[in-house]
Amino acid sequence: MKTRTQQIEELQKEWTQPRWEGITRPYSAEEVVKLRGSVNPECTLAQLGAAKMWRLLHGEAKKGYINSLGALTGGQALQQAKAGIEAIYLSGWQVAADANLASSMYPDQSLYPANSVPAVVDRINNTFRRADQIQWASGIEPNDPRLCGLLPADSLLMRKPVLAAF
């Protein structure tokens, strides 16, 4: 576990990254660390997806724009990833109509349970994690020639950002 001083220094260093340029904070790193407690939970898939999305937005996109299609299931998202789609889009209206946790059809007015979209994102991420486990267990590295161009060069499948609209 990191000490309070280490956490403060780490956060101050993070805030100097170009990503945060122009952001004004009316609070200090010390105040943030004080409020978050000694245990700092991490959301690895969200962090990987956010970092990948940032890189795509800042020059890493293959065509100068980000290819994305809508996916409502993990299987759809996985096939899109295999086809080279750079990000997965999850539409709030699709969830309202077909995948909300109330098991009813709703208009696109956020009337469905608020945890419905996160539940679909979780299912998509679980599919990516399982595909990654299979790929990794097979000894396939991100730049493995056995991929034969089927997947982007940086891809262990879970590195696809999922953009969800509520």
Say if residue 160 is in the same domain as residue 84.
yes
138 lies in the same domain as 61: yes
Given a contact cutoff of 8 angstroms between Cβ atoms, the answer to whether 105 and 143 are in contact is no
Do residue 59 and residue 91 come from a single domain?
Answer: yes
End-to-end Cα distance, the chain: 36
Residues 80, 148 within the same domain: yes
Residues 19, 66 within the same domain: no
Say if residue 145 is in the same domain as residue 73: yes
Tally of structural domains, the chain: 2
Same domain, 103 and 131: yes
Q: What is the pTM (predicted TM-score) of this model?
A: 0.79
Q: What is the DSSP letter of 60?
A: I
Question: Whole domain around residue 62: which residue ranges?
Answer: 44-164
Rounded to 5 degrees, φ, ψ at 164 are: -110, 130
Spatial strand order of the sheet with 162-164 comes to 68-70, 87-90, 162-164
**Digit-coded pLDDT (tens) for 8-36:** 999 999 999 999 999 999 999 999 999 99
